[in-house]
Amino acid sequence: MNKLIVVTGGTKGIGRAILVKFAAQGFDLITCARKKDDLDKLKIHFEKLGVKVYAEVADMADRNQVKNFTEFVNALKRPVDVLVNNAGIFVPGLVTEEPDGVLESLINSNVYSAYHTTRGIISQMKANKRGHIFNMCSIASIKAYPNGGSYAISKFALLGFSKVLREELMEHGIRVTAIMPGATYTSSWGSSDLPEDRFMKADDVADSVYAAYALSGRSVVEEMVIRPQLGDI
């Protein structure tokens, strides 16, 4: 049986690039997104290539929908080899000026989604004494910057979650890696005046994730910082 990867928010950007990379290595795929049309298109694309895809509509900012998604994963009764907590949103702003509710929204999307997804799936990983969890953090997890606002707060928190998880799970044979990419060219940067080649490629992040996964079980990349060659944007 093929190995299995779960990627939240897998229809676009880095999430999709990770699915492409792991599918090329013979993995079956599980993913979720808010829009059914996007998931249907993704399934058609991969299934034409002979890749098995399980997809479920879920807004990962909603705890009940996260619960439904993890139950969907567990109902397959297949061991999860890799979990990538990728779902999240970016909202720029200043902490002292952003509208009420922005922090709560970003914490729900960027932190609680990873927290509850991991808790929902981890039991079978522990039982199997193997697995690799990647949390999609950010350069904003380690460097505050103007207009980062509550987004940076949420990403700092996600890195903290990753550090705690690493300590808890090492004895169970489960690796935990925090990925901290800088500006990566995705649809969220589509309105930018900067040239595309000023950004990192989503494929480069996906390649880095796979490289960390491909190490022997005796080693783990705990944190990975990836920046554009010309520096942060």
Q: Does the structure show a pLDDT above 70 at 188?
A: no
pLDDT of residue 137: 98
Is 216 inside a domain boundary?
yes
pLDDT of residue 25: 98
Is 233 inside a domain boundary?
no
Q: Does the structure show a pLDDT above 70 at 199?
A: yes
Is 231 inside a domain boundary?
no
Is 232 inside a domain boundary?
no
**Averaged pLDDT score across all residues of the chain:** 95
Is 173 inside a domain boundary?
yes
Q: Does the structure show a pLDDT above 70 at 156?
A: yes
Q: Tens of pLDDT along 75-99?
A: 999 999 999 999 999 999 999 999 9
Q: Tens of pLDDT along 160-182?
A: 999 999 999 999 999 999 999 99
Q: Which residue has the higher pLDDT, 113 or 146?
A: 113
Task: Provide the residue range defining the domain that includes 97.
Answer: 4-226
- pLDDT bin (cut points 50, 70, 90) of residue 191 is low
Is 57 inside a domain boundary?
yes
Is 75 inside a domain boundary?
yes
Mean per-residue pLDDT, 134-161: 96
Mean per-residue pLDDT, 197-221: 96
Is 65 inside a domain boundary?
yes
Whole-number Å distance between alpha carbons of 185 and 205: 11
CATH number at residue 29: 3.40.50.720
What is the tally of structural domains in the chain? Answer: 1
pLDDT of residue 145: 87
Whole-number Å distance between alpha carbons of 69 and 142: 30
